[in-house]
Chain A
Amino acid sequence: MNPKRKQRLYLMLFLLLVAGGITALLIQISGENMNMFYPPSDVVSGKAPVGENLRAGGMVQNGSVLRSESDLGVTFVLTDHKGADFTVRYTGILPDLFREGQGILVEGQLNQAGVFEATEVLAKHDENYMPPELMELQGEMPERKPGPMPGFPGTAQDSPRVTMGSAYDS
């Protein structure tokens, strides 16, 4: 092999090694910081692991929101309206669009008692927006089409929206 080729071969090997190393790091670190999403049925059935960071979601059950009287503690129940539901405990400010009956996401850990200790509560930003994780859930439920707005026939379904910042208001 002539020296020039040899040099090029070494360079290529070196680059491959570096690229391989970076890829391995990427996979490793993203694996450590990845949150799986679980619907209510998985949380109830025990498919969601206890004591690990994860995401769950569901609809806020009507009448289930209980505020503490001394601080910002709150508990509420998330349900899929098909018999699976679980309690969420959270301390902090709920997003603007947190309402009963609305689909929301919670991030945090499930404890031994089956209560979800949320570190973050995410709701949709806008009336027409549904977190993608919950779209399937809603699809299985009795369809609730966004009705046409008053004086505004037939266009509410696909109104395009742009907003900014995080994926969810939190």
Chain B
Amino acid sequence: MIPELGNFALVLASVLALGGAGLGLYAPREPVLQSGVLSMVFGQWAFSFVAFTALIYAFVVDDFSVSYVANQSNSLLPWYYKVSAAWGGHEGSFLLWILIMGTWMLAFALRSDQYPDRFTTRVLGVLSLLNLGFICFALFTSNPFLRLIPLSPADGADLNPLLQDFGLIVHPPLLYAGYVGLAIPFAMAVAALLEGRVDATWARWCRTWANMAWALLTCGIALGSWWAYYELGWGGWWFWDPVENASFMPWLAATALVHSLSVTENRGTFKSWTLLLAITAFSFSLLGAFIVRSGVLTSVHSFAVDPERGMYILTFLALVVGGSLSLYAARAGQNTAKVGYEVLSREFFMLVNNVIMVVSLAVVLWGTLAPIGYEAITGGRISIGTPFFNAFFVPLGLMLLGALALVPVLNWKRTRAQVLASVYQALGVSVLLGGLIWFALDPASLLVAGAVGLSVWVVLTHARQLWFRLGKGSVPAAYIGMTLAHLGFAMGTAGISITATQSVESDVRMSPQSSIVLAGQQVTFTGVIDVLGPNYGAQQGIFIVTDGDRSYELRPEKRQYFAGGNTMTEAGISAGFLADTYISLGEPLEGGAWAVRAHYKPLVRWVWLGALLMAFGGILAVFDKRYARQRRRQEARQGEVTLS
């Protein structure tokens, strides 16, 4: 009964989405009709929420007559994994996507007092139209409420063991919040094109949403990387897997958008470009959904291969991209503004950022789609691996760092060359430090020393300028946010370059009571014991790591899950700010010996901490006073209107 209620709620949500789209895009002037669009948005959220709750309920009570529950869950699962199993597969994760879409729309509707009424109506109309597409996709191709009657199984097939983890609870919701959040700048861009009005005010409205979505996407990607690192059992944190690329592409576009919006807000230029980026960023979100959900790329991320789903998303993608780009082509030309700037200006450096982001985007897109194209044309299969991506991202990353170091001292329009003196001083310090690091590196690499040196340079110039501005009085939150995000980027790239090249990785055969030396630490394998988890049995290796006076135990596991029969490797990790020690069990060999993977990974945490710092900076910028002031001004203006 409850699943049918969920299904019905989803149908109602689709009807309200249709209504909201029609009325919103018609953009009535009458306040009654405008508030009608608002109520339909509230309704879409409420019914999506009911549908999602119904699905969670089916999972919690083990209703295996629901096909999706039977495929994804098992009565032995702990309750929290039963809840998160709701978004462990294609159908349920898409329902979560719809709920998150509804939540963003609700958030926009709740803040609608900040924007002109017709603009709000149009934005919500565009969002409703998108939501209609999403809900229909769920209802017609991926309904999570389908029953298996009368052949209901006694127990479920179990959630894939890799997903029985804290990572599944937090990674998809955050990632989807980022993906779907990009729909708001998209809808604002379309609404602005429809109205034929794009100006600094529009950019100010759009910035808070773009920043928020970008920050959530950053968090989601970082969490996914961290999860892969500790859960896959072989110590990597980024694989250039097509599905990772699918999340990385909208991130690159959104990063460009966030910067371009800043120029549009402050200087009134880059307007057409900003609109194009807003459209691009969300289009890449949809492309990501297509890659993951159509089965066009078979990766472990992919859901079941289903041509019907693929066709649906491809058609939807074509309509959204085609429609918005046609509108763009017809209208964007009107928004040219002639504002000059010099090379030493913020505008120019934002342009540098944007060019690097767009080139990176092209690289990732090519690396992801070329194998598909190759197969479609020749029938042969190829794979494009890490060396391809490194060949581009190493120089692009270095260029980005170099440009970033100048940013704090730059002004809009033009900057006097004298202010660069402090930048050169910082450069001197970082060259010295980079040189010292070069000596410490093993294996020595000029590129790594260069990357670390440049990161230090970025940190020095940003910290110095922040210090200087703090000394002169209060500093806007947006400026602090920008500084933190840039420091996070420097931290992340330093971490990436060190951990990618300086890690010690040894895969060895270890018999009980034998030891190895791993980066100056003594690792002793005492043996393997059997342990029993809630829904699995495991062999647990006991390793004693001695590092000078400090000694600790690591217990990696090899788990056998009862329900699916899957084997899984659970690594033993000693996490540290400066380095991780990572041990995982390979396979048992003769005589009680095991194949053991023992890694020492310096600065690996910096990769994710850097990303989190970037996200934190992005969120901090949203709370800048000027956005709050904006709200008050709008309220005041509306007050005047009612008075007169």
Q: Assess whether B380 is in contact with A37, with CB atoms less than 8 Å apart.
A: yes
Cα(A141)–Cα(B121), bound, Å: 59
Q: Assess whether A33 is in contact with B384, with CB atoms less than 8 Å apart.
A: yes
Do A127 and B362 contact each other (CB < 8 Å), given the known contacts A67-B589, A72-B509, A162-B160? no
Cα(A23)–Cα(B227), bound, Å: 34
What is the total number of residues of chain A having a CB less than 8 Å from a CB of chain B? 51
Cα(A153)–Cα(B242), bound, Å: 33
Cα(A41)–Cα(B262), bound, Å: 58
Q: How far is the CB of A78 from chain B (nearest CB, A)?
A: 16
Cα(A156)–Cα(B563), bound, Å: 13
Interfacial residues of chain B within 66-95, with CB under 8 A of chain A in the complex? 67, 70-71, 88-91, 93
The residue from B71, B148, B153, B558 contacting A151, defined by CB atoms under 8 A apart: B153
Name the CB-closest residue of B to A167: B299
Q: Assess whether B383 is in contact with A55, with CB atoms less than 8 Å apart.
A: yes
Give the interface segment out of A81-89, A108-116, A129-137.
A129-137
Flag B584-602 by CB within 8 Å of A: 1 or 0 each: 0011011000010100000
The residue from A22, A37, A97, A158 contacting B304, defined by CB atoms under 8 A apart: A158
What is the total number of residues of chain B having a CB less than 8 Å from a CB of chain A? 70
Cα(A51)–Cα(B192), bound, Å: 58
**Cβ of B508: which chain A residues have Cβ within 8 Å of it?**
71-72
A1 within 8 A of B: no
Interfacial residues of chain A within 70-111, with CB under 8 A of chain B in the complex? 70-72, 92-94, 96-98, 107
Q: How far is the CB of A62 from chain B (nearest CB, A)?
A: 17
Do A152 and B153 contact each other (CB < 8 Å), given the known contacts A158-B304, A163-B300? yes
Cα(A158)–Cα(B309), bound, Å: 14
Interface of B is mostly: mixed
Q: Assess whether B153 is in contact with A131, with CB atoms less than 8 Å apart.
A: no
**Cβ of B388: which chain A residues have Cβ within 8 Å of it?**
29-30, 32-34
Q: Assess whether B239 is in contact with A97, with CB atoms less than 8 Å apart.
A: no
Interfacial residues of chain B within 343-367, with CB under 8 A of chain A in the complex? 359, 362-363, 366-367
Q: Assess whether A160 is in contact with B154, with CB atoms less than 8 Å apart.
A: no
B303 within 8 A of A: yes
**Cβ of B304: which chain A residues have Cβ within 8 Å of it?**
158-161
Do A93 and B367 contact each other (CB < 8 Å), given the known contacts A153-B153, A162-B93? no
Interface residues of A (CB under 8 A from B): 22, 25-26, 29-30, 32-37, 55, 67, 69-72, 92-94, 96-98, 107, 125-127, 129, 131-133, 149, 151-156, 158-170
* Residue contacts A-B, CB under 8 angstroms, 8 given: A30-B367, A35-B382, A71-B509, A93-B234, A160-B89, A161-B304, A162-B301, A169-B232
Interface residues of B (CB under 8 A from A): 67, 70-71, 88-91, 93, 148, 151, 153-157, 160, 162-163, 167, 224, 227-228, 231-234, 236, 239, 241-243, 298-304, 359, 362-363, 366-367, 370, 380-385, 387-388, 391-392, 507-509, 558, 564-569, 586-587, 589-590, 595, 597
